[in-house]
Amino acid sequence: MSKYSITKTPLDVMQELVLKTQQLRKKNGISQLELSRRSGVSFGSIKRFETSGQISLESLLKVAYFFNRLDDFTAVFQIDTDLGAVAKLFSTKTRS
């Protein structure tokens, strides 16, 4: 988090993703090279991701799929479907 904010920055989230991915990889006793081979993501991309956080979305999703964590991405940009209930709370119309 930025030292002037309580919310996470994109950099914070990126660093967390790198750390969690490394932890999953190491917990499962998998080298970067093995992860590359088994996920279909180039070794260079895996190495770059773990050192700089840079990776394509497609490659990140392949790594997530390998670790059976693809469902973690289903909530990204999820749209609330029941906004009508919230709108009613702020309605100026009186109820009959």
Specify whether the CB–CB gap between 67 and 24 falls below 8 A. yes
pLDDT in tens, 47-72: 999 999 999 999 999 999 999 999 99
> Using the 8-state DSSP alphabet, how is residue 72 labeled?
G
Q: Give the Å distances, CA to CA, from 90 to 26, 79, 83, 93, 94.
A: 50, 20, 11, 9, 11
Q: How confident is residue 3, by pLDDT bands cut at 50, 70 and 90?
A: low
Q: How confident is residue 82, by pLDDT bands cut at 50, 70 and 90?
A: low
**Which residue in the block uniquely carries the two structure tokens 């479907």?**
81
Residue 77 clears pLDDT 70, i.e. is over it: yes
